[in-house]
A and B are shown apart, each in its own frame.
Chain A
Amino acid sequence: MKKYDAIVIGAGHNGIANGAFLAKAGLNVLMVEKNDWIGGATVSRNLHEDWIYSNCSYVCSLLRPEVYRALDLAKYGLQVVPYGGSVTISQNGDYYASYVDGDASRREMMRHSHRDADAEHRFERDIMRQCRFIRQFLLRTAPDPASFKPRDLMELLHIGRKFWDLGEETIYDTMRFYTMSIAEFLDEYFESDLIKASHAGSGIIGSAMGVMSPGTAYVLLHHAMGDVDGTAGAWGFARGGMGAIAKAMHLCFEDHGGTTVSGSGVEQILVKNGKVTGVALENGDEYEADIVVSNMTLPRTFLECMDPKDLRPEFLEKCRNFKIRGSSGKINVALEGVPQFTALKGNTEIMRSDMHLIDSIERLERAYDDWKDGIWSRDPYIDMLIPSLTDPTMAPPGKHFMSLFIQYVPPKVRGKDWTDEDRDAFRDTVFNQIEEYAPGFKNLVAHAEVRTPRELENEVGLTEGNIFQGELTMDQLLFNRPIPGYAQYRGPVKGLWMCGSSNHPGGGVMAAPGANAAREILMDLKKPNTVPEGWADD
C-alpha cells in the first residue's frame, strides 16, 4: 500500500487550501472526499438543465486575499466580481437601499432618517476599528492562555499589546462590542427600524442567536471584516459560482502533485499506539499516512469517524457539547425570468445586490423565537440574491438563478428529524413570503432545490446544518475554538490535525483555518512554511 505524507479528509475549500499549502511545501498529499465532486459547501452544482447553483455558500468576501494570492488562484481561473450594495424591502411597500455611490447611499438613508444618514459614518468608523483589530488575528494561530510555552506567552503578549494600542476609549468600545447584542449596538447609532433591521441581518446570519442576543454584534463583524480588492465589507460573486473557488484551489493542489480520491467517505481514522496511521474508507479502501488532517466538523471527526477508545472520555464529552446548531436553510431556484418586487418600483439595478426581506428588529427577533421552539420561522428572514444578473455563466440568457438563504430553520422539527413533508412546507412558507413581495414569483419558478439542515448535513457533512462548522459565540472563538486546549489545529492524537471551519477563525469561506493548520503542520515537520502572513493594515 502506498504511504502518503499526509491525508486530508474532505475536499471543502479549507481542506483543499490545506492540501495545496502542504503540497506546495513538497509533501505527498492525498485528499479523500465522500462526494464524487469536490468543494464541500463551496460548490457550483448543475442540478437543473443549464442552470448552475451556488447551492451552499453563495457569496464571497472573507476569502483571505493572502491565500488567494499565495495559491495563485487567479492563474487557476478564479475571478471574484463585486456586486455592490444591498436592499432591504419592507412590507409597507418601501425599501432601503445601500449603493456603491456614497452620496446616493447617504441620501437614501436620509429618505428614512436624516440623522441616520450621518450616523452611518460613526457606525462605519467603529466597525472598521473592529475589523482592523480582528483581521490581524485571522492568519495567526490563537495562543493557549493556559499554557506556559514561550510561543503562547509571546502570542498572548502580542494580542495584549495590539489591544492596548487601540487606546482607552476604543478598548472599552471593543469590550462592549464583543458582548453586546446587535440590536443594542445598533440602537447606539440609528433610529430608523428599517435601517437597523438591514444592518442587523449580518448579526445573525448562520448564527443560532437572535438580534437581541448578546454576542451578535460580533457576528456582524464576522460578515464585515472581509473585502473585495481592498473595499472593506464588500461582497462579490465568484464567477461560475462558489465552486470556482474550490476548483481553482484544487487545480493548484493538483499542480503541486496532490492526489484526490472521491466518491467514498471516511469510515474511520486509523490509530495505532496513540498515533494516527491512516484512514479507512467506506468502500473498504485504506490509505496510510502519519498525518491525517480532518476538514470535517469537530463532532463528525471525533464522534463519527474515530474509535472512541482512541480518545479520552473528557474530550469526547467536549465534542458532544460543541455547539453546532443549524439555524438556516437554503433554497436554490431556477427562474424563467426576473421577479418583479412591487416595492422596488422598477429599481431593477438594485436587484443585482443583496436583497433582504425584513423591516424591523422585532420581526427578526420573532423569527428567532420560532427557532427556539423547534420550528422554522413562520415569518422568516430571507437573504436573497440573483447572481445571474451579474454572472452570465449561472443561467441561460434571460433565465435566472436565485439564491435564497433563510433564517431561522432548526436542525430538527420540534425535536424530530425533518421529513419531506416538513421540507415542502418550509419551501411553501418561503415562497409564499416572496410571493407577497413579488406577485407572480411562483409562476417563474422552473425548479427549486430545498435544503434544510438535514440536506446540508447529509450532503456536505455540516453537522446539524450549521454553516460555520460551529457557532460563533464567545465560548467558541479564538483560543476557545473549537475546544479550549485544542485551538491550535492539533487533534488529541499524535498526527491528527483539524483544518475545518470548526477551528479559528471560523467559517464564511475564509480558507484561514485550512491555511493556519498547514502552517502548524509544516512547523512541526520543520518544513519551510508556504502559508502567507496576514498583510499589515496600517
Chain B
Amino acid sequence: MTKAVKSALIIGGGHNGLACAAYLARAGVQVTVLEAAERFGGAAVTREFAPGFQISAGAHLLFALDEKIRSELQLEQHGLEMAATALETIGLDEDGDYVSIAGGTLSGPGALDEDKTAMTRYQRQMNRFADVIWGLKDQLPPRMGTTAKDDLLSLGKLGLKIRRLGTEDMREFLRITGINVYDILQERFTSEHLKGALSVDGTLGTFLGTRSNNSVFCALHRFNRGRDYALPKGGMGAVSEALAAAAKAAGATLRTNATVASITMDFDRASGVTLSDGETLEADVVISNADPKTTFFKLLGARHLEAGFANRVHHLRTRGCVAKLHLALDGLPGFTGLDETQLGKRLLIAADMQYVEHAFNHAKYGEYAQEPVLEITVPSVHDATLAPAGQHVLSANVAWAPYDLKGGWTEVARADFLERCLSVLERYAPGLRGQILHSELLTPVDMEQEFGMTGGHWHHVELALDAFLMMRPTPGAAQYATPVNGLYLCGAGSHPGGNVTGCVGRNAAKAVLKGQG
C-alpha cells in the first residue's frame, strides 16, 4: 500500500510551508510551493505600510524559531541575520516605574525585592515545565486508546519526562498546567504591575483572560528557551526569505501569485490542485499550509469528508482576537521612564491583571477593549533598513479586538478603536500622537484578508489544552495526515501550533515521508 512519495504540492508559502518544502526537497521529493500573495512568508512577512516604512505585518518578534531548523536548513547561510537578540520585556508604567524582565532577572524602578527572588524561582520552574510541553514540539503526536507500540512508547516517554521533574516539580507541573496565570502569579508575586506584565504571556493571542484556565498552558507554550525575544534584520520577512532560499537551494519550486482555488480529488484521494486561473497541478501528495477550516471547507469541500470529522472541523475555535497597530513615527517615541536603548525592547502595556482581565472581558461579548493591552516593538531602533533616517516604525499587538465584533468592523468602529489605542499609548508615551506620520490598524478581519487565516487567528486554531498534541487541530488530523488520502496539513493549526517556529512544517515533512502516501 505504501509507495514512495515522489512529488508534493504545498498550498501556501508561509514559514511552515517553506520549512516543509525544504525538508521534503532535501529528501528528494519534487516539491512545488504555491503562494497566493506576491511574496512568501504568510504572517511572517515584511512589507511597506507607508512610503519608506517597512513593517513586520504579522508576527513581529522572533522567539520560537526552532534551533534544529535553523541549523539543519542553514538559515544563517541563506541570509538570516538578527538585528537584536535577547530582548528584555519591559512592563511599562505611566509614571515611569517600569519593570524589566530579562530571563530570571528582574530590574527597573518598579521591581520589588521579594519579586526578584520569586522571579528567579518562577523562571527556573517555568523553563523546566516548558521543556516538557515544548519538548513535544518535534513529536508526531501519539494516538490514544490504541495498542500501537509507537503511540504507547511516545506516551511513556512523556510520562517519564514528567516524572524526571522530581517529586516536587512534578506535582507542581500536574497542578498548574491546567489552570490560569492569575492564580499562579498571585501565589508567587507581590507587585500588581509585574503580575500584569507576566500575565500577558498566557493570554496574548488567545481567547483567554488572566483568570481563564488554559492560560498557564499558553504561557508555557510561549516560554520556550526562556523567551529569548529577537528581531531579525529586515523584519520577520527575513525569516521567510531565508526559509525560501533554503527550500530553493534544496530543489523546491517556489511560485508566488499562485492562488489555489481547490484541491482536486481523484476518487478518494487528493491528487493535486486547481489554481484560480484554471491551471491544474498534480502530485503524489498535497500539503496544506492553510488553516484547517480553509483547507477542509474552502479548498477541499466538506462533501469530501465524513460528517463527524467535518463537524469537528466546523467547531474549531478560530476567532482571532488581536489587532495589529503600525505607526510611522517622525522620531523616537518617548516612553516615560525609558532611555533610548530600552525603546528597542519588548514593551508591554498591561498595568495589572485586572486591567488585562477588563480588556479581555469585552472580547467575550464581541466588543473591543476599551483600554487595550499592547505588546510594542520599535524595531527601527535596531534596524535602520526599516525606516528613513531619523524616523521610526512602531509595531504593536493590541488585545482584545475580536474578529466577530458586534456590528462588524465598520469604519466607525476602526476609527474608535484606533483612537483608544492611541490614547492609551499617549498616556505612556506623551507626545507620541504628534510624531505619527501614518498609522495602519489591522483587525483580525484584515488579517484574515491579508494572510488568508480564518478568523485572523494567529494560531489558526485556538491554542488550548483541548487543542494540543493529539487533539490539534482535531482528532483524525492530528498526525499531519488527514482523513483524505494524500492530503496533509502543515500549518499552525497543527501540533505544536502557532508562532514562527517552523516545527509544523518540519514535522509534517517527516509525517509525509513516514506515511509515504
Give me the interface of A with B, judged by CB distance under 8 Å. 145-146, 164, 166-172, 175-176, 178-180, 184, 187-188, 209, 212-215, 321, 323, 362, 365-366, 369, 372-373, 473-475, 479-480, 484-485
Assuming A166-B145, A172-B144, A362-B365, is B170 touching A145 (CB within 8 A)? yes
Per-position 1/0 for B69-113, Cβ under 8 A of A: 000000000000000000000000000000000000000000000
A146 adjacent to B214 (CB under 8 Å)? no
Residues of A contacting B163 with CB < 8 Å?
146
Question: Which of B219-227, B416-424, B465-473 touches A?
Answer: B465-473
Cβ contact of B178, chosen from A167, A179, A362, cutoff 8 A: A179
B466 adjacent to A176 (CB under 8 Å)? yes
Docked pose: A146 CA to B167 CA in angstroms: 6
Cβ contact of B214, chosen from A179, A369, A372, A479, cutoff 8 A: A179
Docked pose: A361 CA to B465 CA in angstroms: 22
Give me the interface of B with A, judged by CB distance under 8 Å. 143-146, 163, 167, 170-172, 174-179, 183, 187, 208, 211-214, 315, 317, 354, 357, 361, 364-365, 464-466, 470-471, 475
Closest residue of chain A to B144 (Cβ to Cβ) is: A171
Residues of A contacting B177 with CB < 8 Å?
474
Measured CB to CB, the closest approach of chain B to A158, in angstroms, equals: 16
Assuming A146-B171, A362-B365, is B214 touching A214 (CB within 8 A)? yes
B145 adjacent to A168 (CB under 8 Å)? yes
Measured CB to CB, the closest approach of chain A to B190, in angstroms, equals: 14
Cβ contact of B144, chosen from A168, A180, A372, A480, cutoff 8 A: A168
| Known pairs A369-B361, A372-B211, A474-B213 / 19 extra A-B pairs, C-beta < 8 Å | A164-B145, A166-B145, A168-B143, A168-B144, A171-B145, A172-B471, A180-B466, A184-B317, A209-B213, A212-B212, A213-B212, A214-B208, A214-B214, A362-B364, A362-B365, A474-B179, A475-B179, A484-B172, A484-B175
A484 adjacent to B464 (CB under 8 Å)? no
Measured CB to CB, the closest approach of chain B to A33, in angstroms, equals: 32
Residues of B contacting A172 with CB < 8 Å?
144, 470-471, 475
A214 adjacent to B464 (CB under 8 Å)? yes
A187 adjacent to B171 (CB under 8 Å)? no
Cβ contact of B465, chosen from A169, A209, A214, A321, cutoff 8 A: A214
- 18 chain-A/chain-B pairs, Cβ below 8 angstroms: A145-B174, A164-B144, A167-B145, A168-B145, A168-B475, A179-B178, A209-B211, A213-B212, A213-B213, A214-B465, A215-B178, A362-B364, A365-B364, A372-B211, A372-B361, A473-B178, A484-B172, A484-B174
A179 adjacent to B475 (CB under 8 Å)? no
Cβ contact of A321, chosen from B174, B187, B208, B475, cutoff 8 A: B187
Docked pose: A403 CA to B466 CA in angstroms: 37
Residues of B contacting A175 with CB < 8 Å?
144, 465-466, 471
Residues of A contacting B144 with CB < 8 Å?
164, 168, 171-172, 175
Residues of A contacting B208 with CB < 8 Å?
214
Name, among A168, A323, A485, the residue most crowded by chain B CB atoms within 10 Å (CB to CB): A168
The 3 A-B pairs at the shortest CB distance, nearest first, are namely A474-B178, A484-B171, A168-B145
Assuming A167-B145, A172-B471, is B175 touching A188 (CB within 8 A)? no
Residues of B contacting A366 with CB < 8 Å?
365
Docked pose: A484 CA to B183 CA in angstroms: 16
Docked pose: A145 CA to B146 CA in angstroms: 22
Residues of B contacting A169 with CB < 8 Å?
145, 475
